[in-house]
Amino acid sequence: GAGLGWLSEDEAWDTLALVNRALDLSYSSWNEVWDAFRTTRWLWAAEGKAQEATNDLHERNRGTFLLGPKGLWTAIPWDAPYPAPRFLLLDAIASMGDLRLLSPQKWERSSAWERELDNQSRSRAPLSSGGKPTIQ
């Protein structure tokens, strides 16, 4: 986004911090992220028997590339310190009046990451739309 001018450099770095926070709240290791990614990709890419062997080969190569001894994901320690997100994208959405808040029923069924986004959204939303007080 920053390379195309859609995001400022600050927003781009903050978006990476948001992604890291979401991963941290949703998974416990790069291996767990890989398992979820692989399973989801398999579900979306299921094309029948003819494509299975090719997909399996791609999965093995992708796994080695990402998680192998010199893999991209394993080059960065899972528990390394990362900057906390400032939720700059939520600020931009709030300035357009487009924040969406979870209902109490949806909040009860939400993941820790969804709850954090909702709390951050509520802190930016006007009181008239359910903003400010956060659900705990």
As a whole number of angstroms, the distance between CA 107 and CA 103 comes to: 6
Q: By C-alpha distance, which of 85, 97, 84 is closest to 125?
A: 97
pLDDT, position 17: 95
Q: Copy the structure tokens of residue 66.
A: 């990402």
Q: Which is it for the CA torsion 42, 44, 46, 51, positive or negative?
A: negative
Q: pLDDT-derived band of residue 135, with 50, 70 and 90 as boundaries? A: low
Instruction: Give tens-digit pLDDT for 83-132.
Output: 999 999 999 999 998 999 999 999 999 999 999 999 999 999 887 777 66
Q: Copy the structure tokens of residue 4.
A: 């195309």
Domain ranges of the chain: 2-88
pLDDT, position 72: 81
Instruction: Give tens-digit pLDDT for 39-98.
Output: 887 777 666 665 665 566 667 777 777 777 788 887 888 999 999 999 999 999 999 989
Q: What's the pTM?
A: 0.74
CA distances from 72 to 34, 52, 67, 68, 76 (A): 12, 25, 7, 8, 7
pLDDT, position 91: 94
